[in-house]
Amino acid sequence: DGWDDEGEGGGVVLDSASDEHVNYELMESFEIDPDGGGEPEQPNVYAATNLKDGVLGCLEELQATAKGYVSSNFTDPSTPKHHKLNSLLLLPFTALRFASVPLTAPEEYGRGSLFLSTLCWPFWVEFYALWEHDTVLGWGTIFFMHASAAVAALLVARHCPVRRGDDPLSPPMVFAVPLAILGFVIAATWIDFVADQLVAALQYVGVVLHIPSAVLGLTVLAWGNSVGDLSTNISMAKRGLGNMSITACFAGPVFNFLVGLGVGLHLLANKSGVSSVSITFGPAIWAGLAFMLLNCVMILAAGLVRGEGFIPKEYAYLSLAIYVVYLLTCLGLEFGGV
C-alpha cells in the first residue's frame, strides 16, 4: 500500500530512522525517549520520506476516506434507508466542510483530510466574503491566500504523520496550533453562514404564514441566531468542559453587547456621517434586561448557596421556567395585554 515496514515507497518507520537530524525531529514530534534506546511510544506512526510520496500518500488516504464514507452511508446493507436519504441530502455540505475546515484534534485528524482542507480553505473564504458581505477580494489577497495555503498543504503532506490503525493521532505542534486557529476561524464563518440562511428561511416562513414580526423576533428568529452558540456550548458540556461551556454562555452575550453593538454603531456612524444615533428601549428590552439579571442572580445563588460551588442539575429546569416566563411576559408586552 505504499507504507511498508522497510520505510520504502513513501513512508519511514520511526524507530528505523538513522539520520541524527531526523531522529531529533521525530523525538520532538512524537515524544521518543532519547534515553530509552530511541523506541517510539507510537510504533505505528509513519511519515513521508519526500514531498512527492507525501502528496501521493494524501491522495490515497482521501480516496480511501471517500470509499469508506460511501460504504458506511450508502452501500452497506445494514444502513437504514432514512439514514441514506439524510446522508445524500447532507452530502454537498459535508463535502464542503470536509474540504474547507482544517481539523487537528486527535479524534478528527487525518493527514489526507488536513492536506485537502489546508489547500482549499481560500475558496470558501472567497465565497463567504462574496455571499455574506458582498465583497470581492482583491487579486493580491487571493494570490496570497492560495500561495500560503499551497505551501502549508505541501508541508502537511511532507511532515505530518499517518498511522496504521484507529488510535487517535495529532500532527506536530508546529502544524497543529496555527491550523487549529485557522480551523476555528473557518468554522466560525460556517456557523455565521448557516445561521444567516436559517434566519432567512424562518423569515420566509413567517411571511408566508403571516406570523407577526414581534412573535418571530422573540421566538424563532432569536432561536435561529443562537443556534451556533447552543450547539457549541452543548458540545463542550458533553466533552466534560462544563466551566468553559458556562463561561461561554455569559461571554457570548457580553461580546455581542460590547463589541458587536459597539462596532456596528461605529460602522453605521461612519457610513451615514452622523455622530449619534437615537435608540429607544421598549418594554420588551427592559423585560429582557430584568430577566437576564434575575438569571445571573439565580445562578449565583444556586451555585454558591445550594451547590457549594457547583451548579446543580435541577437548575436546568428552573432556567427553562424563567425563559418561558420571560417569553410570555414579552409577548404580553408586545401585544399590549400586560
Strongest mean pLDDT among 48-57, 191-200, 209-218:
48-57
pLDDT at 16: 34
Rounded to an integer, what distance in angstroms lies between the CA atom of residue 12 and that of residue 176?
21
**Nearest partner of 3 among 44, 39, 64, 51, judged by Cα:** 44
Query: Percent of the chain, pLDDT > 90?
Result: 21
Q: Dig out the grid coordinates for 316 from the structure.
A: 436546568
The more confidently predicted of residues 4 and 137 is: 137
Reading the block at residue 192, the C-alpha cell is 455565521
* Res 313 pLDDT > 90: no
pLDDT of residue 182: 94
Q: Does position 13 have pLDDT exceeding 80, yes or no?
A: no
Task: Indicate the Cα dihedral angle 62, 90, 176, 250, nearest 10°.
Answer: -170
Q: Of all residues in the chain, what percent carry a pLDDT higher than 70?
A: 83
| CB-side neighbour CA atoms (13 Å) of 13 | 11
Residue keyed to cell 453587547: 257
Q: Which is nearest to 158 in space by CA: 172, 178, 144, 177? A: 172
**Long-range pairs of 92-96 with CB within 8 A, sequence gap ≥ 24:** 96/124
Report for 19-23, 34-38, 45-49, 183-187: range of highest mean pLDDT: 183-187
Residue with cell 452530502: 91
CA distances 230 to 90, 276, 311, Å, are 21, 34, 18
pLDDT in tens, 284-307: 788 888 988 898 888 888 877 776
Cα–Cα dist 336/333, whole Å: 5
pLDDT at 100: 94
Count of C-beta atoms within a 10 Å radius of residue 233: 19
Question: pTM of the entire structure?
Answer: 0.65
The lowest-confidence range among 37-41, 123-127, 157-161, 249-253 is: 37-41
Instruction: Tell me if 291 sits within 8 A of 279, measured CB to CB.
Output: no
